[in-house]
């Protein structure tokens, strides 16, 4: 799909948008399968997402709010485009963790207790998945607020040299935060690279001045991505962490009149590395002009099935949807890419 909204939904859920079923994104599915019941941090964290083009592509769907992403740094890119660069750490903290001024810990605990009692009474009168999920989401939020684990978001505690290697920008510091979250057992973390300083236009949507834009974007992407892999390896985490680099579609192989590239959904690449992946290879081949896939085409569902399998999740496992239907984690016709699985 060559439309931003529809393509984003397809790539993140494995399904085309439309219909009555509220599909969960991959991060919510992974969180459900891999997070621990005793975990103090959410199982799915989304760093600096851009949701306005496809809001439905960032939710937990029929799995319920307890598997929805904890979002940090949304819209923070608006503060770093052009002008002096600010310390991105200030934008990557969880909001509302501290008690309001004048509210003691004892009074806060009483409020939380009252809320839980109200939730319990509501569920007794109106039992159902939605009611239980709502209460569970609040309980998880309270657990995180009271936890030492939230110190994972204090990236300013990291060595200056390491922060410099990642890049003192929103994406670089977001990747550093991702490593800190993985280190503390968060099953699924995503980081979005959109705006960078002095870039005219909307991120990778390079309809004009493609070459200068991609150079600026790559100057942010390359050091952050490389340092993330090195940092994970140094921490002994790379073998158990799958790193995925992808977008919602490619760009036209031919340059347009504005020295840009337009939307292209016929052929493009995705990169997998780290845990569960047999690296050092390219799967598939395009035509010489890059317009079509000539060898080993991979569908979106196949990619998501591969990711699930690499993480030890059975992609054929079913969940009950909001309309009462059993829905597999990936489309029934999906086949993992066996060549890349370690």
The pLDDT score that the predictor gives to residue 193 is 94
The domain in which residue 304 lies consists of 4-93+154-340
Helix (H) or strand (E) holding 72: strand 70-72
Residue 36 lies in a domain: yes
- Looking at per-residue confidence, does 281 or 144 come out higher? 281
| CATH number of residue 285's parent domain | 3.40.720
Helix (H), strand (E) counts: the chain: 8, 11
The pLDDT score that the predictor gives to residue 334 is 95
- Looking at per-residue confidence, does 48 or 138 come out higher? 48
Residue 145 lies in a domain: no
CA distance 25 to 60: 6
172 has pLDDT over 80: yes
The pLDDT score that the predictor gives to residue 322 is 85
User: What is the chain's Cα-based Rg?
Assistant: 21
List the structure tokens of 258.
Answer: 């504005």
305 has pLDDT over 90: yes
The pLDDT score that the predictor gives to residue 205 is 94
The pLDDT score that the predictor gives to residue 7 is 97
Residue 137 lies in a domain: no
The pLDDT score that the predictor gives to residue 83 is 46
Residue 203 lies in a domain: yes
pLDDT range class, residue 1, cuts 50, 70, 90: very high
Residue 106 lies in a domain: no
Residue 112 lies in a domain: no
CA distance 189 to 152: 13
Domain tally for the chain? 1
pLDDT range class, residue 81, cuts 50, 70, 90: very low
Residue 292 lies in a domain: yes
Name the residue with tokens 């029934």.
332
Residue 84 lies in a domain: yes
**For 210-224, how does the pLDDT look when each residue is reduced to its tens digit (9 = 90+)?**
999 999 999 999 999
The pLDDT score that the predictor gives to residue 251 is 96
The pTM assigned to this predicted structure is: 0.90
């Amino acid at each position: 799909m060559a439309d931003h909204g529809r393509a984003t939904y397809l790539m993140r859920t494995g399904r085309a948008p439309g219909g009555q079923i509220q599909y969960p994104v991959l991060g919510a599915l992974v969180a459900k399968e891999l997070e621990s019941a005793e975990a103090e941090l959410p199982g799915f964290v989304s760093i600096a997402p851009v949701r306005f083009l496809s809001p439905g592509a960032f939710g937990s769907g029929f799995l319920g709010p307890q598997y929805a992403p904890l979002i940090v740094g949304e819209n923070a890119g608006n503060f770093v485009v052009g002008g002096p660069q600010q310390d991105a750490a200030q934008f990557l903290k969880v909001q509302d963790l501290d008690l309001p001024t004048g509210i003691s810990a004892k009074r806060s605990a009483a409020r939380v207790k009252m809320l839980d009692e109200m939730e319990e009474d509501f569920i007794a009168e109106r039992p159902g998945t939605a009611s239980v999920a709502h209460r569970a989401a609040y309980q998880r939020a309270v657990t995180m607020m009271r936890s030492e684990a939230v110190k994972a978001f204090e990236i300013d505690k990291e060595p200056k040299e390491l922060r410099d290697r990642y890049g003192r920008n929103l994406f670089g510091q977001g990747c550093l935060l991702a490593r800190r979250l993985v280190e503390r057992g968060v099953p699924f973390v995503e980081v979005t690279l959109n705006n960078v300083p002095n870039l005219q236009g909307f991120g990778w949507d390079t309809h004009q001045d493609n070459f200068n834009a991609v150079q600026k974007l790559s100057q942010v992407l390359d050091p952050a991505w490389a340092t993330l892999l090195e940092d994970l390896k140094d921490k002994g985490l790379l073998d158990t962490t799958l790193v995925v680099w992808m977008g919602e579609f490619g760009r036209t192989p031919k340059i347009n009149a504005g020295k840009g590239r337009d939307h292209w959904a016929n052929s493009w690449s995705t990169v997998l590395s780290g845990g569960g992946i047999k690296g050092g290879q390219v799967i598939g081949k395009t035509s010489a002009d890059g317009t079509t896939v000539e060898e080993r085409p991979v569908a979106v569902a196949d990619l998501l099935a591969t990711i699930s399998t690499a993480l030890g999740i059975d992609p054929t496992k079913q969940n009950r949807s909001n309309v009462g239907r059993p829905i597999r984690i990936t489309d029934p016709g999906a086949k993992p890419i066996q060549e890349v699985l370690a």
